[in-house]
Amino acid sequence: MTGFDAYKMYLAVRSHFTRLDYDFFKFNGKTKASEAAFNKRKDIYTFKKLAAKKDANDILYYFVSNFIMGASYVRQFNDGNYSKWKTKQESFTYKFKQDIDKLLDGIPQPYEESFDSLFKAEKGKHPILIREYYGNEISLETLVVLDYCLGFVDNFNKVLTDPVWNETSTLIVKYAPFLTIDCKKYKKVVLETMNKKL
């Protein structure tokens, strides 16, 4: 991979997370980028350095991890965000279990009956699930898994209209294709966590 290849990938990932009309996977990471324009960039060295140090897959997730952590430009990106993201991925089942445990603390037993209350959206009021995320109590990945398996985002979008939620909604949907999600596995984690808390 060359510095120019890394730059093209950066543009594609940035477009994926910042434009509603661009899908990294649908367009196979293709963007309109010219080598002439790349050669004039002040940050050209950053891309060349990345290409020399990392393989294509690492570079992709380096960009993804930095975008989901809120960095918008390559000069704001850092290996710390990527390391945190990798660590989170390696122990995600455990983190997901912790997040479910935390969510269950906020609802009454029996959990099978009250679990849906986590997803209750009302005009002008974020559901428990989203409040816990905004309070840094649960991770973005947990939201992505729950949406992927239960599909709450579309329902929330019908009720919630605030800009903060709109941004979160887009992030959940845009981030999902970069994760490997096994709904059967995570449903089992939810049920096991419920049973342990009884």
Task: Please determine whether the domains at 3-86 and 91-197 fall in the same fold group of CATH.
Answer: no
- State the pLDDT confidence band at 166, using cuts at 50, 70 and 90: very high
Compute the distance between CA of residue 118 and CA of residue 107 in angstroms, rounded to an integer.
Answer: 8
The answer to whether residue 198 scores a pLDDT higher than 80 is no
Tell me the backbone φ, ψ of residue 5, rounded to 5 degrees.
Answer: -60, -40
Per-residue pLDDT tens digits for 180-193? 999 999 999 999 99
Rg value, the chain, Cα: 19
Residue 197's pLDDT is: 82
Domain boundaries, the chain: 3-86, 91-197
Tell me the backbone φ, ψ of residue 122, rounded to 5 degrees.
Answer: -130, 150
The pTM assigned to this predicted structure is 0.93
Mean pLDDT of 1-28: 96
- CATH fold of 3-86: Helicase, Ruva Protein; domain 3 (1.10.8)
* CATH match for 91-197 among 3.40.50.620, 1.10.220.50, 3.40.50.300, 3.30.565.10: 1.10.220.50
Per-residue pLDDT tens digits for 78-108? 999 999 999 999 999 999 999 999 999 999 9
Percent of the chain as helix, strand, coil, to the nearest 5: 70, 0, 30
Cα torsion at 163, 164, 167, 172 (round to 10°)? Answer: -140
